[in-house]
Structure 1
Amino acid sequence: MSEKTRVASDAIAPAGRFLDYVFPIDTFNGPLQDPTNSRAEYLIQTPIKFIGEGATSVIRPDGTEVGSIKWGSLLEYIMVTLHGETGQGSRILKTVSDGLFKENKRVWVDDWGNEFYWKTNLCHNAEDQIVARYVRGKKHTFRTNEPAWLSVDSNYLPLFDHILFTAIIIEHEVRADED
């Protein structure tokens, strides 16, 4: 069985154990760590830009670039490069109406054609199983800040890059809406 076939068939596996990862500094700057051993799984960098477009890079600890997100002034201008493939942000993560007076889904498709969607902070597969959760960090004035978390079903670790990139895009949109 080829690697692509194995991963594609795993995409409909029953729910596995969720593995947690923490953004100890910020979702857009700093490491994404396994909290059990503090090992960095990714390094996320977003240089501060006051004028023009910015970009977020995601790098593995060995220095290999996973990809980048070039932020424009509007969502339609987000350009995503993931595993060497570049596409417009609206093609990577599409907004789909879930009905009148219901929250929209943010739909994405993996490299094998499997469809997933984010709704609020939960990522689901096409069978509506939860495959990942993103918990936003909280800033506090008089007590310790709470970092953001990304929890991923162990069956979906081969899709971790996709899950991470789509979570970063959604967090960017939420922060833009708050401003």
Structure 2
Amino acid sequence: MKPFIIFLSISVLLFLQSCSSEEKAPSIDVYEIRNIGLLSTSEYTIGKVIKLDDNKEWYKFGDRKILISCKAKVKAGINLMELKDSSIHVNGSKITIELPPVQITVFEMDPTSVHTEMEDINGFRADFSQTDKNRILRLGEKSIREHLDETGIKKEAEKNAIAFVTDFYKQLGFEEIDVELSKAELDEK
């Protein structure tokens, strides 16, 4: 009789445990995505032509004009190390992830892709110095950075990051994956 009571008690306990609808604690595998770190999901090469027509002052005789072309390699993505424990919720085979905001991960202007396309100096004007050219390039870099949102790089990076995270968790066996943007990202839009 005693073994029957023990068997019945264990059966009832297992039955009640299986019927609970509590959210299960996520396994350590769901947090492995943080080990990826900085995930760049979109890359653009942006060209810019910078024109400078040096202002004529009354005491300067002649003109100085220059056209410089440059290219910037820009990558955007998300930093998965910023995922907090509270950003991932697991309920059985369903997982909800709140991604950190999309950011520019790389911005580089390769010096080999900077070219002086035209330089016109006449009168008694001096040539453009390397300092002048560097100042012009900084203006070009500033202009590219200011117009990044118009390129759509962040929206594309967001879309690609969501696809990557969805595939990642499908590989872990989750059937329903809901990827959301962080509140900070929604406020920017």
TM band (smaller chain): under 0.3
TM-score by length of 1: 0.22
TM-score by length of 2: 0.21
Q: Name whichever structure is richer in strand by fraction.
A: 1
Say which one has the larger Rg: 2
